[in-house]
Amino acid sequence: MLITQLQNFSIIIIYRQEVMPDLLYSMENVLAATSMNENINIHTPEIDLFVERVERNLSNGDKFTLSSYVGTIALPVTVFDGKTSRVSVIVYKTVNQRWSVKKGYQNAQIGSNIMSVSLQQPENNTVHKLDVNVTGAVIVVLPTNVTKREKSRLCTYWSFEKSYWDTEGGTVLQKNDTHTKCRYDHMTNFAVLVLYYNDYDPVTEEESRTLYILTALGCSVSIACLLVCLIIYVYLQVLSNDTVMIHANLSLSLMLAQLVLVTSDGASKYPHACKIVTVLLHFLFLSAFTWMLVEGVALYFSCSRAITSWGNTRIKYMVMGWGIPSVIVLVSLGATFPNYGDGLGDNCWLSIKNGLIWSFMGPLIIIVMVNLVILGLVMRAFLSLRSNSRKSEAARIRASLRAIVTLLPILGITWLFGLLVPLSDVFHYLFVIGNSTQVIIALFVYHNYH
């Protein structure tokens, strides 16, 4: 019967790879139905199976070990509780080639055999599977195949509740080019996950740390400047002015974006946290560009005298500045949520390979193009004002024009560098520097304006 089950197993994993988690569970149940006194040693192209009876007379200093070329398992005698027991080990030798890691980790592959370990003891004439939960009780050594540039290695187990490879209770003790030694506090289905750098990510770990330090320093200065700017706006009670209100909201969106950026180091290790960080950055940076668009629209209305026919402008500006990014992000979330956080290397950002990045770059390009059209219209109105000798209004519009003409290229070029990051690490450094300094330049421009 057992041989038949193994043959069926080989057929199923070739044609029904999606049912693998259920098969892991089913194979344990098949073993539980075999005789308690039977030692088993079976080898097939797909799996190896070891079942060994453990007598109750093991001394306390001993370790029970099962070892072969497909892996090694070592258990302390305390897990047997002085009773005759049976250790069952199933090693799935080819499943890792077919079982892709779709949830939980970025750019990861199963780099080892999958080893299923269980402990059974007789109870009322039946074989009873035990749940073993002892800190550091289970030592597993698995052959590991590293195929690309390795970022890190994880000792994981398959969580039937969460439906992904979990690291809880698993620790890497030793590793080399061919093997990984893991320690677990329970018995289940074990595997080594190898996390790789993206093929297009040339940044080493040392360079990544340098980039983070540059980002942290630049963002910290930017956050401090923006916070001072907002405090001054509130203290001077000038937010009733539409232009100042727009500048304040632009400053707020940039400050929050920089704050998320500088405090999210390490978020890529936690998939859900990485997605949250990506959503926040997508919304906040998109909001900053939208408020640039709002400033252009406000300037146009101011020049064209169309402001009187547009009702309550402050509410409409707020809806534009925060509402448009909200709609774009919500639509992107609904359409491509799994691709959030799948940025370059270990960065929590929008996926380039799946095209999600265009939910940011697309609106950015449109905003820049619309603002260029608005600038042309405002320039024509500005020349008309100069010819009519309306000097005070012309001076105010000239200041606004100077602000937009200065900020638009700075913001646009910075994110152009961001889009070109996959081509060279030079663009990565330029993007970090530009992203950190654009806020300081913006504050200087606004200071001259006010």
pLDDT of residue 11: 45
Between CA 255 and CA 372, with CA 243 as vertex, the angle to 5 degrees is 85
Is the pLDDT score of 237 beyond 70?
no
pLDDT of residue 307: 46
pLDDT of residue 141: 92
Least confident of 55-64, 228-237, 412-421: 412-421
- The candidate with the shortest Cα–Cα distance to 286, out of 324, 315, 342, 247, is 324
pTM: 0.54
pLDDT of residue 328: 93
Q: How far, in Å, CA of 233 to CA of 13, rounded?
A: 65
Query: Who's near 123: CB < 8 A, 6+ residues apart?
Result: none
pLDDT digits (tens, 9 = 90+) for 309-318: 555 778 888 9
Query: Who's near 425: CB < 8 A, 6+ residues apart?
Result: 202, 203, 207
pLDDT of residue 102: 58
CATH topology for 2-196 is Chondroitinase Ac; Chain A, domain 3 (2.60.220)
pLDDT of residue 424: 56
pLDDT of residue 15: 41
Percent of the chain at pLDDT exceeding 90: 7
Contact in structure between 71 and 115 (CB atoms under 8 Å): yes
pLDDT digits (tens, 9 = 90+) for 69-115: 888 888 877 777 777 777 888 888 877 666 666 565 667 888 888 88
Q: Does the CA dihedral 199-204-205-211 come out positive or negative?
A: negative
Could you write out the three-class secondary structure of 181-238? EEEEEECCEEEEEEEECCCCCCCCHHHHHHHHHHHHHHHHHHHHHHHHHHHHHHHHCC
pLDDT digits (tens, 9 = 90+) for 290-305: 988 888 788 777 766 5
User: 188 or 394: whose pLDDT is higher?
Assistant: 188
pLDDT of residue 187: 82
pLDDT digits (tens, 9 = 90+) for 120-156: 776 655 555 556 666 667 889 999 988 876 778 889 8
Could you write out the three-class secondary structure of 308-336? HHCCCHHHHHHHHHHHHHHHHHHHHHHHH
pLDDT of residue 417: 62
pLDDT digits (tens, 9 = 90+) for 6-17: 545 554 444 455
pLDDT band for position 345 (cuts 50, 70, 90): low
| Highest-confidence segment of 327-331, 339-343, 358-362 | 327-331
Q: What is the average per-residue pLDDT within 9-30?
A: 58
pLDDT band for position 50 (cuts 50, 70, 90): confident
Average pLDDT of the chain to the nearest whole number: 73
Is the pLDDT score of 377 beyond 60?
yes
> Domain residues of the chain, as ranges?
2-196, 205-449
Q: How far, in Å, CA of 32 to CA of 66, rounded?
A: 19
User: 321 or 158: whose pLDDT is higher?
Assistant: 321
DSSP states along 40-66: EEEE-SSEEEEEEEE-TT--TT-EEEE
pLDDT of residue 14: 46
pLDDT of residue 223: 84
- The backbone torsions φ and ψ at residue 330, rounded to the nearest 5 degrees and listed phi first, read -65, -40
pLDDT of residue 110: 87
Q: What is the average per-residue pLDDT within 260-274?
A: 80
pLDDT band for position 283 (cuts 50, 70, 90): very high
Domain 205-449 class, CATH top level: mainly alpha
Least confident of 64-68, 73-77, 422-426: 422-426
- The candidate with the shortest Cα–Cα distance to 141, out of 72, 68, 192, is 72
Q: What is the average per-residue pLDDT within 20-36?
A: 65
